[in-house]
Amino acid sequence: MTTVTDTAEEAGQQAGSLAAIDICEAAGLTVRKGGIRPRVGDLIWSFADVEGLPVSLRPSERKLDFSKVRNPRWRVVAQEFSFARLAPGHEAVRELPQAFRYPVAVKTGHGRLTKLTEWFNWLTGHGVTSLADVTQQHCQAYYLHRSDVRDRKGRVLRPASQEARMHAVQVMQEPAFYNELFTADRFTEGFVPWSGRAPFEVAGCKARGENAAQPLRQEALQPWLAAALYIVETLGPHVLELVRSVRQEEETPTWTSNERWQARLSAAISAHIAEDEPLQLLEPTEVASRLHEGWSEEDPLLQVSLNAVARKAGKLTFAHRWLPTMRPLLEQAVAAVGVRPRWGRDAPAVTRADGSGEVPWTEGVAGAMALNFLVDRVRTACMVVVALLTGMRASELMEMPVDACVPPQDLGTGRMRYRLRTKLIKGQELGGVWDEWVTVRQAYSAVQLAVDLQDPQNPSPYAFGRFTFIGRCNTLSSWVNSPEGQRLGLTPIPDHPINLRITRRTLAMELAHRPGGLLAAKIHLKHVTVVTTEGYAARPGGAQAEFLADVAAEEQARNQNLTLAAFRDSQKGIMPTGPGARDLIDFFASVDQELQAMEAAAPGVKPGDQEVINLLSRRAKTLHLGIANYCWFIDPAKALCLTLAGTPGGDKPLAGMCDSSRCPQATHHLSHRPVWADSAENKKIFIGNVRRGQQTEKARLQADLDRDLRVLAEIDAATAQGA
């Protein structure tokens, strides 16, 4: 193995002609007065004092460390390359014909340097000392090396992801585009690894486009949101009340002299017995420490907080040497009054999450550590609620300030508009831009609670600040699935990956596929749709508009799949029913004819689903989902809902006024049968409960029942034809 080392002085002597350039000035980064201003020749670039960096950026990502590059000449290359990516507008960079014209963020620059260091050090380890000696064979060998995930000893664990392979190609290709800029070493003139092929092509990835994040399954989504809402809305107020009362607790006056310590402690312990006040329970971590120190599991004082006894006597801590003397009285107290948690001993009862009775909201909070864990659980639940009900990205959640909750706006008729302030970071200049999200009350209240639970001794300007969502969610789900969560009636959360990309995709798909449904049995998706649309109307270029575009893309994919399924049913003889069925059947027949013509033109080649979707796409764009029907909104003038509302020129149907048994653009399909069947059964029950004097009501219900039964009969007849 080749070893290349040098001293800091030698590294400085080899710095290139760009070494003295102020990076922040060249890249347009604003530095706090008196802050560090790194230069190209520095071995470590610290951006800690740059203003406007995202909250999500970890301290380790705010600096670029070039000292890890083993070859001193390649350190200079790495510095010059990193500078070019951060400041593409600098005169030394902008003249390069193949240079990228957009600046990368500090986080991206940090990631590029990490990958570049690995590549350069791999070359060094394989005996390469000059970039001029690098060949396509080296690149191919490194690509194969990076195609597997390895442990620290180099043993293969599993195949690497396509994205990891793409990054490996990227870090080998991009420096070659800046070859003319490098002063310490260069590639052979004209050499570019995999010339003419993009990194994603080499790695076998698809070009960016389709969202690859998989949504939460329903069996995971409902328990997640139900648990988070229960914690925020039911437990949250009690936790906040407890936190406030703990913060207001007065400090016990302390005595500094050790004189008369025995009398003071004896009086404090005797007071517990006289007042029938249990001794304070020790926190589990401290119990574990005692066991590790040699305490017996049978010791009656194992779970007693001795420091709490000392505090009651006016001393901050209980000296270990006091224990032998005080043990008899302490054991007497344990036998007489027992041991209970410090706080929450007589907690108010709350309704269980499953509705089966009431239980105390907590069985007790042992101490400060347990209280902090409890607050963390509630704040995590707040994050989950906001993420699943708004679709915010991680950066938008982390940038949310403590004054994020804009005062609600009264819209009249009992309606309130709730808005949350945060910064839009993605795709914006450094520092981002302020933005507002119109949201539902539950998300708004979750942010308020998260802010109220902040520790005033450690204030933060952000509602949530930087956090690790996956780790927090793992902790929360473990608690929900624990005996304590089950005591509260929470539905266990299955093991399913969750992150903020997943929550965003999940909400988009729920809005697209179940527009009339519920989240966690209480959040109407139509309300989420309304506020999201209001947010888009208020700021067409804002973050909520981007999320609405994601929803629209999911709706289009949904419409194509549903239209294709209806077409495939028609090919099997299962026809749609309803007033708009004839028009849809005729359209499907015309598509069938086109497919037959395609097969005749290319014998032996059967059109696949994509070809069929292309033929169905125009009709699919008109599809709107009703609770019990499909609405093919082709002609607004024919839409019964718009006619009834007196708005015949509307651009979308009014689902709340839909009467699909009469609208000429509505169809019924086999998937709608359960809804009509439930409706018919409910009406039969209502009719049976109508009293004799309510004949008008009975006649109305009977007419509705006859309609439901007619629709069911039509669906059953159409299904039987295709059987």
Q: What's the token pair of residue 652?
A: 């979308």
Residue 534 has pLDDT above 80, yes or no: no
Q: Which long-range contacts (C-beta less than 8 Å, at least 24 apart) are formed by 588-596?
A: 591/567, 591/615, 591/616
Average pLDDT over residues 196-206: 85
Alpha-helical (H) ranges within 351-468 are: 368-390, 394-398, 441-452
Average pLDDT, the chain: 88
For residues 365 and 374, the answer to whether their CB atoms sit within 8 Å is yes
Average pLDDT over residues 277-305: 91
DSSP string, 142-182: HHHHHTEEE-TT--EEEEPPHHHHHHHHHHHHGGGGGGGG-
Longest dimension (CA), the chain: 106
Angle between helix axes 609-620 and 581-601 (nearest 10 degrees) is 150
What 3-state class would DSSP assign to 31? Answer: strand
User: 0.85 cut: is pTM over it?
Assistant: no
Same domain, yes or no: 248 and 192: no
Q: How far is 640 from 665, CA to CA, in rounded Å?
A: 8
**Single-letter amino acid, residue 618:** R
Residue 589 has pLDDT above 70, yes or no: yes
CATH number at residue 526: 1.10.443
Average pLDDT over residues 499-518: 82
Q: How far is 623 from 566, CA to CA, in rounded Å?
A: 12
- Confidence (pLDDT) at 527: 65
Q: Percentage of the chain surpassing pLDDT 70? A: 92
- Confidence (pLDDT) at 6: 44
- Confidence (pLDDT) at 251: 58
- Confidence (pLDDT) at 13: 42
What 3-state class would DSSP assign to 540? Answer: coil
Q: Using 50, 70 and 90 to split pLDDT, how confident is the model at 128?
A: very high
- Confidence (pLDDT) at 254: 61
Q: How far is 39 from 22, CA to CA, in rounded Å?
A: 5
Each residue's pLDDT tens digit, 45-102: 999 999 999 999 999 999 999 999 999 999 999 999 999 999 999 999 998 999 999 9
For residues 138 and 80, the answer to whether their CB atoms sit within 8 Å is no
For residues 340 and 329, the answer to whether their CB atoms sit within 8 Å is no
Average pLDDT over residues 383-408: 94
Same domain, yes or no: 641 and 685: yes
Q: How far is 180 from 97, CA to CA, in rounded Å?
A: 10
Distances in whole angstroms, Cα of residue 295 to Cα of each of 158, 287, 298:
45, 9, 8
CB atoms within 10 A of CB 307: 16
Q: Using 50, 70 and 90 to split pLDDT, how confident is the model at 12?
A: very low
Alpha-carbon torsion, ordered 370, 373, 379, 383, to 10 deg: -150
What 3-state class would DSSP assign to 588? Answer: helix
Does the residue 19 lie in any domain? Answer: yes
Same domain, yes or no: 539 and 560: no
Q: How far is 114 from 141, CA to CA, in rounded Å?
A: 19
**Single-letter amino acid, residue 97:** P
Q: Using 50, 70 and 90 to split pLDDT, how confident is the model at 482?
A: very high
- Confidence (pLDDT) at 213: 79
DSSP letter at 623 equals E
Average pLDDT over residues 155-171: 90
Residues pairing with 247 in the sheet: none
CB atoms within 10 A of CB 98: 11
State the Rg of the chain over Cα.
34
Q: How far is 517 from 627, CA to CA, in rounded Å?
A: 8
Same domain, yes or no: 646 and 689: yes
Does the residue 222 lie in any domain? Answer: no
Burial of 1 (0-12, 13-18, 19+ CB in 10 A): exposed
Q: How far is 224 from 384, CA to CA, in rounded Å?
A: 8
The residue range of the domain holding 570 is: 554-722
- Residue with the bigger pLDDT between 410 and 515: it is 410
Average pLDDT over residues 102-110: 94
**Lowest-pLDDT range of 191-205, 255-269, 322-336, 483-497:** 255-269
Same domain, yes or no: 26 and 175: yes
Distances in whole angstroms, Cα of residue 325 to Cα of each of 263, 266, 295, 318, 320:
11, 10, 17, 12, 10
Does the residue 232 lie in any domain? Answer: no
Burial of 294 (0-12, 13-18, 19+ CB in 10 A): exposed
**Lowest-pLDDT range of 383-387, 542-546, 635-639, 694-698:** 542-546
Does the residue 170 lie in any domain? Answer: yes
Q: How far is 703 from 710, CA to CA, in rounded Å?
A: 11
Each residue's pLDDT tens digit, 660-712: 999 999 999 999 999 899 989 988 888 888 787 778 888 888 998 999 999 99
Q: How far is 229 from 382, CA to CA, in rounded Å?
A: 8
Same domain, yes or no: 544 and 427: yes
Residues pairing with 623 in the sheet: 632
Each residue's pLDDT tens digit, 207-241: 655 667 788 888 899 999 999 999 999 999 999 99
Residue 153 has pLDDT above 50, yes or no: yes
Planar angle of CA 289, 293, 296, nearest 5 degrees? 95
- Confidence (pLDDT) at 3: 45
Average pLDDT over residues 555-573: 91
Each residue's pLDDT tens digit, 132-146: 999 999 999 999 999
Q: At 519, phi and psi to the nearest 5? A: -110, 130
For residues 344 and 241, the answer to whether their CB atoms sit within 8 Å is no
Looking up tokens 């290349």 gives 4
Q: Using 50, 70 and 90 to split pLDDT, how confident is the model at 11?
A: very low
Domain end position, chosen among 548, 563, 598: 548
Does the residue 351 lie in any domain? Answer: no
Same domain, yes or no: 131 and 80: yes
Domain end position, chosen among 518, 548, 578: 548
What 3-state class would DSSP assign to 408? Answer: strand
Q: How far is 339 from 293, CA to CA, in rounded Å?
A: 21
Q: How far is 623 from 642, CA to CA, in rounded Å?
A: 16
* Count of the separate structural domains present in the chain: 4
Residue 1 has pLDDT above 80, yes or no: no
Does the residue 245 lie in any domain? Answer: yes
Angle between helix axes 581-601 and 543-571 (nearest 10 degrees) is 80
Each residue's pLDDT tens digit, 364-377: 998 888 999 999 99
For residues 464 and 397, the answer to whether their CB atoms sit within 8 Å is yes
Domain end position, chosen among 509, 530, 548: 548
Average pLDDT over residues 248-252: 64
Same domain, yes or no: 448 and 562: no
* Element of type H or E holding 433: strand 433-439
For residues 177 and 100, the answer to whether their CB atoms sit within 8 Å is yes
Same domain, yes or no: 437 and 564: no
Residue 515 has pLDDT above 70, yes or no: no
Q: Using 50, 70 and 90 to split pLDDT, how confident is the model at 34?
A: very high
Same domain, yes or no: 558 and 530: no
Q: How far is 492 from 479, CA to CA, in rounded Å?
A: 10
Does the residue 479 lie in any domain? Answer: yes
Percentages helix, strand, coil for the chain (3-state, rounded to 5) are: 50, 10, 40
Q: Using 50, 70 and 90 to split pLDDT, how confident is the model at 426?
A: confident
CB atoms within 10 A of CB 467: 18
Among the ranges 232-241, 433-442, 593-602, which has the highest mean pLDDT value?
232-241
Q: How far is 576 from 719, CA to CA, in rounded Å?
A: 9
CA pseudo-torsion sign 452, 399, 468, 225:
positive
Q: How far is 642 from 657, CA to CA, in rounded Å?
A: 8
Does the residue 304 lie in any domain? Answer: yes
Q: How far is 227 from 661, CA to CA, in rounded Å?
A: 39
Same domain, yes or no: 380 and 469: yes
Same domain, yes or no: 506 and 589: no
